Structure 1
Amino acid sequence: MGQTADIVRQSEKFIETANEVAKVFAERASANDESDRFIEDNYAELKSRGLVSAGVPSQLGGGGASIRDLCEVLKIIGGACGSTGLALSMHTHQVAIPAWRWHHQEAARGVVEPLLRRIADENIVLLSSGGSDWIGGSGTAEKVDGGYKITARKVFSSGAPAGDLMMTGAITEEDGERTVLHFGVPMGAPEVTVLDTWRTLGMRSTGSHDVQIDGLFIADDNIPMRRKAGEWHPAFQMIATIAFPLIYSVYLGVAQSARDIALDIARKKPESHRTQSIAGRMENALTAARLAHEHMLAATDRNAPSAETINDTMIGRRLVEENAIRVVELAMELAGGASFYRKNELERRFRDIQAARYHPLQKESQAEYAGAMALGQSVDTIF
């Protein structure tokens, strides 16, 4: 009973902290968005309030937050500032994956523990290059004495200006086979450059710039995983099952905040069947998005990553995307002309929510994967 009470108090603490910082982030969001300014001040707040290390097991000095706790934090922050939520989600899932391995894979503890302790002790920020890499991989790894020289350009590197270590990979061709090597890239290395490329429709303050890597040496000992390029690997079963509920919490937060803004505007109008119908359809879509996200979390809760959990996760991801976008569209319809004014902040949510379309698995690949699973056919080359 005492342990359960401690877990509840811990969850409440994370939610309280998220609500507090969200108020600050909301005040900065419009100005950052309008100037394409990176959310540097918000990162300082995330570090000082323990949210950068929240996902590290408490035994290693972190906050010990569960994936559900982290999803709630990201949803709250995403509702206040989509850019901060999305950038934080990219760090958070890179923490949650080794944390999950520390809890559930005894053999992996010695591999992941040093990284987790660094996050807790030094407040380092991890970057993901998933948008560049995914199953196919990108960049080249040239074999040299003792390791590899890496040349690559990684896109969609959210949080790049604040990053300390990019979790990425590159492709080597040895013995006629293309192999993806996985490793961490120190962002302070002279061979690594953040390029100022992020000028976008939405999520403008994430700092998701391209990162150029020119001849960075990675020692053989610093390559923890190798896999065949272009095929699903068991590691991706774990990555997808853990990462996407976290990332899509942000879009759920964006949709929910758009709904709240629209209702506040609509309540000031005369009652009508039309506005009630639009509001009702918006509520239906938000509920569908919430249920789809819970479907994703249920797959994570099984603690048994597999082809089946990827399927459940990606079906949920697709349904969150579609319904979250629909919520924001209906919110703008409900608010009417007022939604067109920047000061009401619906148009920023409308732009930010569009990014939900672009994470893997995108529409056709997700449908193919679900169809192959239903038919009992191979999913190894679907990405």
Structure 2
Amino acid sequence: MSTSHAIAELATRIDWLARAEAVAGQLAANAARHDAEDSFVADNYALLKEQGFFSAHVPAELGGGDANYAETAAVIRRLGSACGSTALTYSMHSHLVAAALWRWRNQKAPTDGLLKRVAAENLVLISSGGSDWLKSAGDAVKVDGGFRITARKIFSSGCLAGDLLMTSAVYDDPEAGPTVLHFGVPFSAEGVEIHETWRVMGMRGTGSHDVELNGVFVPDAAIAGRREQGKWHPLFHIISLIAFPLIYAAYLGVAEGARAKALEVARRRPADEGLMQLVGEMQNAFSAAEASHDRMIRLAQTATPGADTTSEVMIGRTLVGEAAIRTTELALEVAGGGAFHRSMGIERAFRDVQGARFHPMQQKAQLRYTGRLALGLDIDG
């Protein structure tokens, strides 16, 4: 049997959701400590790495675990019900892998080298996309053989465990004007420094610190893409389609965990009319979150990236976020005064789920984009 066939056969035997279930208890046990300490979930990340999760979504033919897209989303959701910070941080790595895989499969883009490295070297990828979005940030200055990058990238979730920062900066092209360059930077590169700034309300364990790039050299060959600054580009329609169902799987998982704890408490109390109605309302909110997220997953698996698809995915992002937040709010009420205690974990879930408000495209920007599109207006207007 060839090595590739052996890898493929091994990969088909891995039930990644079952593996997530097996580690969830340990992740949950560590979650409260990291939240209290404002510390990165380093031990949870080490456990995921040991269990092969960082290469799970890489195809078997490229050396990975061959988890499909829906399975990867389900894993993130399960991790989210145990530890929101671990799930959200892992989703940032996973969506970078998923986007590279989509481009390799659908566009024959030369991203297989990155995917092979993720599998062979157990690399952890870090995204700065949430802070950059369409405009990007930082300066790229042309030098012999490449560019010198000066930037400060906020919200770099998991950077303390990162191997490659997948980021961008703006080059003032003398012909094309302000141009966003996309590239990867090793955390070991000269001029890369992490500033531990992450002291926040929720998702405290994500370690979403600032990463400073101080004159970091990026060779011409490492520039993976160029686009006009501030304008929608086909790359961002791919990112919107592929990344956000995975990111919001983490928030769905947080809501699911809070709901489960609330039901556990409620089942020990007399089922009076008020409690039954609160539980029913919580169930409705969770069902709405689940249904909207299921649609996002279907779009990611079947839709073609483009302006209309981006609108549909971003509508889902808003609906999942709102319903996950509402589910967790109601979980507090269902569980009663006990939920005010940190030890129950619902209070942490309530804080963690608030992060769903802040990823692009935030609600008002999504409403504007969707409204302009529906009216036949230019989405870049």
TM-score, length basis structure 1:
0.95
What is residue 53 of structure 2 aligned with on the other side? 51
Alignment-mate amino acid for residue 228 of structure 1: E
Separation in structure 2 between the aligned mates of residue 300 and residue 326 of structure 1, nearest angstrom: 25
Unmatched 5+ stretches in structure 1:
1-5
Match of residue 63 from structure 2: 61
Paired residue for 1:229?
A: 229
Equivalent residues of 1:32, 1:38 under 8 A apart: yes
- Contact 1:90–1:128 (Cα < 8 Å) also in 2: yes
Matched AA of 1:20: A
Letter of the 1:305 counterpart: P
Pairing of 1:115-130 with structure 2 (within 5 A): 115-130=114-129
* Cα distance in 2, alignment partners of residues 84 and 272 from structure 1: 37
Q: Secondary structure at the match of 1:269?
A: coil
Within a 5 Å distance, the mapping from 1:363-382 to structure 2 comes to 363-381=363-381
Match of 2:287 in 1: 287
Q: Deviations 1:76-111 (Å, cap 9, x if unpaired)?
A: 0011000000000000001011111222222x1xx2
Moved over 2 A (4+): 9-12
Equivalent pair of 1:74/1:246 in contact (CA under 8 Å): yes
Please give the residue correspondences for 1:74-85 in structure 2 after superposition, counting only pairs within 5 Å.
74-85=76-87
Percent identity, please: 49
1:216 matched to which residue of 2?
A: 216
Distance in 2, matches of 1:298 and 1:118, equals 28
Partner residue of 1:3?
A: none
RMSD of equivalent CA atoms: 1.4
Partner of 1:239: 239
Distance 1:174 1:263 in 2: 58
The worse-fitting range, judged by mean Cα deviation, of 30-39 and 86-95 is: 30-39
Superposition pairs of residues 131-146 of structure 1, within 5 angstroms: 131-146=130-145
Once residues 303 and 353 of structure 1 are traced to their aligned partners in structure 2, the CA distance between those partners, rounded to angstroms, is 28
Asked if structure 1 preserves the Cα contact closer than 8 Å seen for 2:14 and 2:65, the reply is: no
One-letter code aligned to 1:32: H
Residue matched to 1:150: 149
Aligned length: 372
Offset from partner CA, 1:303-322 (integer Å, 9 cap, x none):
42111111110000000000
How far did residue 336 of structure 1 move? 1.1
Task: Give the Å deviation of 1:161.
Answer: 0.2
Distance 2:52 2:195 in 1: 29
Aligned counterparts of 1:270 and 1:224: Cα–Cα separation in 2: 60
**Letter in structure 2 aligned against 1:124:** L
Which runs of no fewer than 5 residues in structure 2 stay unpaired? 1-7
Provide Cα deviations, 1:180-199, integer angstroms capped at 9, x if missing partner.
Answer: 00000111112000101010
Q: Distance in 2 between matches of 1:45 and 1:93?
A: 20
Per-residue deviation, 1:211: 0.2
SS of match in other structure, 2:28: helix
Q: Which amino acid aligns with 1:77?
A: L
**1:10 positional shift:** 4.4
Contact 1:300 1:309 in 2 (8 A): no
Whole-angstrom distance in 2 between the partners of 1:54 and 1:303: 23
1:224 match: secondary structure: strand
- The structure-2 alpha-carbon separation of the partners of 1:204 and 1:11, relative to structure 1 and needing over 3 Å to count, comes to farther
Contact in 2 for aligned 1:78/1:251 (Cα 8 Å): yes
With structure 2 as the length reference, what TM-score do the two structures score? 0.95
Give 1:17's aligned residue: 19
| Alignment-mate amino acid for residue 86 of structure 2 | T
What is the rounded CA distance, in whole Å, between the counterparts of 2:340 and 2:138 in structure 1?
Answer: 42
Give the letter for the 2:119 counterpart.
A
Corresponding residue number in structure 2 for 1:92: 94
Name 1:310's counterpart in structure 2.
Answer: 310
Measured against aligned partners, the alpha-carbon deviations of 1:206-232 in whole angstroms (never above 9, x if no partner) come to 110000000001111110210000000
- Where in structure 2 are the equivalents of 1:131-280 lying within 5 Å? 131-175=130-174, 177-280=177-280
Q: Does the residue aligned with 1:200 lie in a helix, a strand or coil? A: coil
| Partner SS state of residue 67, structure 2 | coil
What whole-Å deviation, never above 9, does each CA across 1:149-204 have from its counterpart, x for those lacking one?
Answer: 00000000000000000110000112261100000011111200010101010111
Counterpart pick for 1:32 among 31, 34, 44: 34
1:61–1:121 Cα contact (<8 Å) kept: yes
Read off the aligned partner of 1:89 and give its amino acid letter.
Answer: S
Task: Name the amino acid aligned to 2:221.
Answer: D
